[in-house]
Structure 1
Amino acid sequence: MTELTKTLELKLVDPNAHKRRKLRETRDAYQYALQEAFDADCTTQTDTNDIVVNYDLSGYAKNALKQYVPQLTTTYNADELSEDHPVRFTNEGLQLDHKPENAIEWYVKIPHHEDYCLWLPAQPSPEQRDWLEALYAGDAEMGESRLFEREGTWFLHVTATREVAEQSEVSANERTPIGVDIGEASLVTVCHRDERGSPVRPELWADEGKTVRRLRKTYFTTTRRLQKRGSDRLAESFGDDLWNRIDDVFHRVTREVIEHAESVENPVLVLEDLMYIRESMDYGEYMNRRLHGWGFAKLHAQIRYKAAERGIPVETVNPRNTSKACHACGDHGYRPRQATFRCSNDACWLGEYQADVNGAINIADRYRSGESHHQNDRTSRQKAGDDDSATDGASLTGPQDSQADAETQQETLGTYAS
């Protein structure tokens, strides 16, 4: 195993005027405390504490200052400070929350002072989603974080450390591609071909798909009923509990996907590339809710970071027509039932086949044909116009700020999200 450390960048999404003011208050208080401690030539944590304790900062920022200020003179030999230092927080300072049902999935709790924290929506860079997911799941360790403003936009830099297995030096041609199909009938389906080209060892998590569908239906119907009654707080609490249960299912299934891959010689997990998936589906309100609510991106992220921990490579392919094409002859077919694929080619031996297994085989075959993309090499490619897979989204509320400052927040914030 190799220990890797990476700095993750989170863009804070459009804080409103109230939250911008609070962020600037934190930054200004930190700057004043830093400057005073530096001017006093503090060389120990005790000396620094005597100064920063008087400032309206959270304990996480004060503890970061107590560690940082002595280093300025004893380690960095600094003669003066730059005008704009980022606000540092110790590793316990930030808290992440993941709302896969929201258009913006990630939220971060930033300490303001001892009794007040700000919840803000945050946008990670796409190539760092798996690291953020590992942090949220507790499979990576959070280090120091830094808050700063750049050209009017607020950012957080978060240090993350995790152990990953070293990948063996195996060429792409020697890899066994395992197609991973994420869907609604079966939450996840995996399958690969043997050396003769025959599909072998398909594995489906259909019961888990039923469980998640049931939990999501309960979420939407119950929370809507509670909201109509004016019980917004109860609806939020109920929704959080249900999404935690869905998250538990996701983690169990993705662990089992990795265990399946480990049982195959020289595996490579092949996923559909979410960069190609259309964001503007319109199948009616009901189907949009079902399709957009699935945690496609979350399942992808969990598979990617758990595979990295085991040294299993992950590749992506264009999802175009993977559920419509016959894996035996390549002609298009149709689904007479949700879980059944029927080939339209009368000369094809396939006839009817399990639809999700057919899709997984097609995904694996895309990699075998050379049509694969590394996770960090996707930004320059345009999205396809006729993909047939869904991504997650929806616009619900995020967590709200701490402190019982209800009247002020109601006037300045309205609903919880910025």
Structure 2
Amino acid sequence: MKLVVQVKLLPTPVQAAALEATLRACNEAATWVSGVAFERGVKRNFALREHTYAEIKARWGLGAQAAQHVIKKTCDAYATLRANLKAGNLGRPGSKRYRAASEKPISFRAEGAQPYDDRMLSWLMGERRVSVWTLAGRVKDVAFTASPEQLATLAACRRGESDLVCRDGMWFLMATCEVPEAPLNADPVDFLGVDLGIVNIATTSDGEIIAGRELNRIRVRERDLRAKLQRKNTPSARRRAKKRRRKEARRAKDINHKIAKHLVAEAERTGRGIALEDLTGIRGRVRLRKPQRATLHSWAFHQLGQFIAYKARKAGVPVVHVDPAYTSRTCAECGHIDRANRVSRARFACRSCGFVDHADRNGSRNIRARAWELWRCGAPSTAPVPPARPSGRARGTGRKRSITASDARCASPAI
């Protein structure tokens, strides 16, 4: 399986200036190539080379490999745009957003990423140095750093291209690695059900609760600070907002990685699979008051599911996504379904058999039972991509709404 390892470069000021000039020239050339592709209606790699390759080399002084990567990057951008338009991610045909994306050529930012292959980039793993092609010639002895685990993966599994990225004045290489997968455990002894929420980010069928109250407090504090900076709107406030813009995203990503790693390790250790809810479109189905919307939309549930899926695939742990309908209202002991069973956000009490449990743990047990039933019926592992939700069901017909909505309602008083 392919993984991307992020490596931080530590260039000297002279090396950084050469990298910046190269990145700027490549993106200016890509913007020009995009205009040619849009005007001529030629958006395939080899056909576009006939119209742009010689001009790129003569006008911007790029080498042969860099010129080809610029053309390929432009074609890939148009392929991505077509896919987004077709999937409806940019609005309906004829809408303002749709026309803004489709009626003008794609432009590239001056600091946009540029792909490098092994002819343009050489790695010296033992010395932690790279040699990078630039407009000023080959820049050698550019130092880089990464975590020990990333360095080991890079040394053993690096294959293919690497992207040169400039982000907030820092330089990175995104290296593609081919990591071997463990054989899939085709005979799990059971499944580890995982219920996702806001107050409790993840609750397992074993009763383990990964709470997010402190994280919710931090998110609210960051959101209030961002609003103050936007209202102030001075040059210093804008600089501070720009500096802090990725901080919350990095924190959430780090926490999601840790949660996914823990869940996969526990399932692998016990010989079980992982059962998750298919929460596709959950934000569109749940309706909340305005103060509660930011709490719901600020956590990356899809990202957490992706992290669990790819880590499980790497470890050979099967993953099954189940329909979340009524998992918060169903008793895990007797199977009785009743809205009144959910007494509060945290408490579940069955009206039929009297079973009492933490509401999220009860839901995770239902998820585990559904996954085990699907697996016994021959359902395959859905890692790394969750299955698409069937399109024939009407809105509001028993989908999971109460858990996420009640989590969001109870998150604000707890902050």
Instruction: Give the counterpart of 1:270 among 265, 270, 275.
Output: 275
User: Would the aligned equivalents of 2:274 and 2:320 in 1 still touch at CA under 8 Å?
Assistant: yes
**What amino acid is the match of 1:260?**
E
Partner of 1:186: 200
Secondary structure at the residue paired with 1:166?
Answer: coil
**1:225 aligned to 2:228?**
yes
Answering whether residue 298 of structure 2 is matched by residue 298 of structure 1, we say no
Q: 1:268-417 counterparts in 2 under 5 A?
A: 268-275=273-280, 277=282, 279-331=284-336, 332=338, 333-345=340-352, 348-350=353-355, 352-370=356-374, 374=382, 378-379=387-388, 381-382=390-391, 385-386=395-396, 387-389=399-401, 390=404
Q: Deviations over 1:323-345 (max 9, x none)?
A: 22111122224444432222222
Contact kept? 1:271, 1:314, Cα under 8 Å: yes
- 1:10-409 matches, within 5 Å, as 23-27=30-34, 31=49, 35-36=53-54, 52=57, 54-56=58-60, 62=63, 64-65=65-66, 86-87=72-73, 116-118=110-112, 143-144=160-161, 160-168=176-184, 170-171=186-187, 174-191=188-205, 201-206=206-211, 209-230=212-233, 231-265=237-271, 267-275=272-280, 277=282, 279-331=284-336, 332=338, 333-345=340-352, 348-350=353-355, 352-370=356-374, 374=382, 378-379=387-388, 381-382=390-391, 385-386=395-396, 387-389=399-401, 390=404
Residue 348 of structure 2 aligns to which amino acid in structure 1? Answer: F
Higher helix share: 2
CA distance in 2: counterparts of 1:235 and 1:85, whole angstroms = 35
Q: 2:195 touches 2:277 (CA, 8 Å); kept in 1? A: yes
One-letter amino acid of the counterpart of residue 368, structure 1: W
The Cα RMSD (Å) is 4.2
1:229 Cα deviation from its structure 2 partner: 0.7
Question: What is the DSSP-based 3-state SS (H/G/I as helix, E as strand, rest coil) of the residue aligned with 1:279?
Answer: helix
CA-CA distance at 1:307 after TM superposition: 0.9
**Higher RCO structure, 1 or 2 (CA under 8 Å, sep 6+):** 1
Residue of structure 1 in register with 2:167 after alignment: none
Q: Which residue matches 1:403?
A: none
> Structure 1 unaligned runs (5+)?
8-19, 38-50, 70-83, 90-102, 105-109, 120-136, 147-157, 192-200, 392-418
Matched residues in 2 for 1:384 and 1:271: separation?
A: 22
Determine helix, strand or coil for the equivalent of 2:246: helix
Structure 1 contact 111–117 (Cα < 8 Å) conserved: no
Identity of aligned residues (%): 23
- Distance in 2 between the 1:286 and 1:204 partners? 26
Give 1:5 deviation, angstroms: 4.8
Distance in 2, matches of 1:169 and 1:262, equals 9
Contact 2:348 2:359 in 1 (8 A): yes
2:367 alignment partner, SS class? helix
State the shift of 1:159 in Å: 9.7
Equivalent-residue separation in structure 1 for 2:3 and 2:209 (angstroms)? 34
1:141: how far off? Answer: 5.9
String of CA shifts for 1:114-149, please: whole Å, max 9, x gaps. xx2349xxxxxxxxxxxxxxxxx9789684389xxx
Amino acid at match of 1:339: A
In 1, Cα distance between the equivalents of 2:280 and 2:300? Answer: 15
- For these two proteins, the number of residue pairs brought into alignment is 279
1:64 partner amino acid: Q
| Partner Cα separation in structure 1 for residue 177 and residue 220 of structure 2 | 37
**Other structure's SS at 2:308 match:** helix
Instruction: Describe the SS at the equivalent of 2:179.
Output: strand
Q: Secondary structure of the equivalent of 1:388?
A: coil
- In the other structure, the counterpart of 2:97 is none
CA contact (8 A) 1:185 1:210 kept: yes
State the Cα distance separating 1:349 from its structure 2 match: 4.1
Q: Deviations over 1:42-66 (max 9, x none)?
A: xxxxxxxxx93x4427x7xx47348
Structure 2, unmatched stretches of 5+, are: 5-26, 38-47, 76-88, 91-105, 114-148, 164-173, 406-415
Asked if the contact 2:3–2:179 (Cα under 8 Å) also holds between the matched residues in 1, the reply is no
Distance in 2 between residues matched to 1:142 and 1:214, nearest whole Å = 41
TM-score, normalization by structure 1: 0.56
SS of the equivalent of 2:348 reads strand
CA distance in 1, matches of 2:394, 2:345: 24
SS at match of 2:194: strand
Q: By how many angstroms is 1:282 displaced? A: 1.8
In structure 1, distance between residues paired with 2:386 and 2:228: 44
Give the Cα–Cα distance (whole angstroms) in 1 for the partners of residues 231 and 252 of structure 2: 24
Q: Which has the higher strand share?
A: 1
The CA distance in 2 between the partners of 1:235 and 1:365, in whole Å, is 46
CA contact (8 A) 2:207 2:361 kept: yes
Q: Is the 8 A contact 2:185 2:318 kept in 1?
A: no
